[in-house]
Structure formats: C-alpha cells, structure tokens
C-alpha cells in the first residue's frame, strides 16, 4: 500500500490492579496481536480506551476504520435473554461503550470489523441474539484452538478469503438470530455462523467469530484497511 496509511481504532478494556514493575494500577489493555495485525495490514493502530458513550461519535469521526476487539460475554439482557449459568459475568461499562462505538460507525459509514465478542456485539447492536454456550468450542482454558471455516460464495468475506481456511479460535458463544440487515458469510462444519456482514457495497461492515490477530493470515484486516483508505 502506498500513500496515506488509514488510522484504525481498536477498542480496549479496563483491568483493575494490573501489576508491572513496582506498580499496581488500573490499566487500559489490549493484546498486542491486534495493533500488530493492523500494522501488518498497512494501517496505523490507535488504541481506544473506554470513554463516555456520548463521546463515541466524536471518537469515530477521527478514525478511518474501527475494530471491536474480543473479550468477555455480552450481557444477555442486551438481547432480551436470561443469563445461562455458563455465561460469564457482565461487563456493562464495556458493553455500553462498544455498542456506542458500533452505532457511531454504522451511522457515519466508517468501515467496521468485529472480532469474536466484537462480532457478537455487532449482531446484538442490530437486534440479533446469541447462543450463550457451545459445548466443545473452548475446551482448554486460555489456549486457542483451531477449526476450518467455509466462506459463503458471493459475500464480502468470500471475496477476501475465497477458500476454506483453518482459523484460530477461542469462544463459547455464537450468533443465533441475525440482526437486521446482516447475512452470514462463513460457517463452521457444524453450522455455527463464523462471519457476518452487511451486504452493502457502500459500507464495509464485517464480523468474524475467530481471532485473526492470533494467526498468520492478514487478509480480513487487509480488506478493512483497504476500505478505510478509500480504495
């Protein structure tokens, strides 16, 4: 890529009592794989710490593209469900901030990529629901697995990654009912929705269930960066 590199914002999250050196302080955190993937794909990475939801539109207005990172389960109340016993504790402040970022990006037509939780939150933002637990999809705590993902022909995802690929994965929740306007653009062998998108040539919006920042394939992020650069 030549010329101006687009600025890609990536949502971060707060952790209390984080230790480094002699310090124990609250920290806004993001696994380094996210900015590294943006950089490898040709973009400039900007970490977005949680803020007031009313500032989301002003934040997104400074960006060329937005990534909503992976993380904890979306609170079931957000999509009208009672919590399953296996659903993790709510991260209400993070849900509120990232939903505001998603809504701002959709309104401003800023290219948007949701990763794992980010894909699930995108679906919820558009009125969809989630499966709260999938047996066998995160078998070893803290260890990424892998499985093949098959693209749906004719979709934006298939244009970026036309063949079946093995992807790094760590999740136990998934998309159930699709949100308004969304289509499924990839599936696992068991039928789990692995990618969703808005089928609009004028607005790049994609969510993936897996963690591209933990793998070697930059094509999804490269496609976001291309869209964010206006090419």
Domain parsing of the chain, residue ranges: 7-228
DSSP 3-state assignment of 57?
helix
Per-residue model confidence as pLDDT tens digits over 23-59: 889 999 999 999 999 999 999 999 999 999 999 999 9
Picking from 177, 208, 175, the residue whose alpha carbon sits closest to that of residue 67 is 208
pLDDT of amino acid 64: 98
Distance CA 18, CA 136 (A): 31
Catalytic residue among 137, 171, 172, 211: 211
Check if 116 is active-site.
Answer: yes
pLDDT of amino acid 1: 43
- This prediction's pTM: 0.94
pLDDT of amino acid 146: 86
Check if 203 is active-site.
Answer: no
Catalytic residue among 75, 98, 116, 172: 116
Supply the CATH classification number for the domain 7-228: 3.40.50.880
Check if 211 is active-site.
Answer: yes
pLDDT of amino acid 201: 80
Percentage, residues of the chain above pLDDT 90: 81
Ordered DSSP codes for 32-53:
THHHHHHHHTT-EEEEE----G
Q: Which residues of the chain have pLDDT under 50?
A: 1
Per-residue model confidence as pLDDT tens digits over 140-166: 555 677 889 999 999 999 999 999 999
């Amino acid at each position: 890529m030549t010329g101006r590199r687009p600025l890609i914002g990536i949502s971060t999250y707060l952790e209390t009592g984080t230790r480094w050196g002699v310090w124990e302080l609250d920290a806004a955190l993001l696994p380094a794989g996210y900015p590294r993937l943006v950089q490898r794909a040709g973009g400039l990475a900007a970490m977005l710490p949680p803020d007031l939801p009313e500032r989301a539109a002003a934040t997104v207005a400074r960006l060329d593209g937005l990534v909503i990172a992976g993380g904890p389960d979306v609170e079931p109340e957000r999509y009208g469900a009672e919590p399953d016993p296996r659903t993790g504790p709510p991260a209400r402040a993070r849900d509120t901030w990232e939903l505001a970022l998603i809504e701002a990006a959709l309104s401003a037509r800023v290219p948007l990529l949701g990763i794992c939780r980010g894909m699930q939150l995108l679906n919820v933002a558009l009125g969809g629901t989630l499966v709260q637990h999938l047996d066998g999809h995160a078998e070893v705590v803290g260890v990424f697995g892998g499985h093949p993902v098959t693209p749906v022909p004719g979709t934006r995802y298939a244009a970026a990654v036309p063949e079946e690929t093995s992807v790094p994965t760590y999740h136990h929740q998934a998309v159930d009912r699709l949100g308004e306007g969304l289509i499924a653009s990839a599936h696992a062998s068991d039928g789990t929705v692995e990618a969703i998108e808005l089928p609009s040539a004028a607005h790049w919006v994609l969510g993936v269930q897996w963690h591209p920042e933990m793998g070697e394939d930059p094509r999804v992020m490269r496609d976001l960066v291309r869209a964010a650069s206006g090419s």
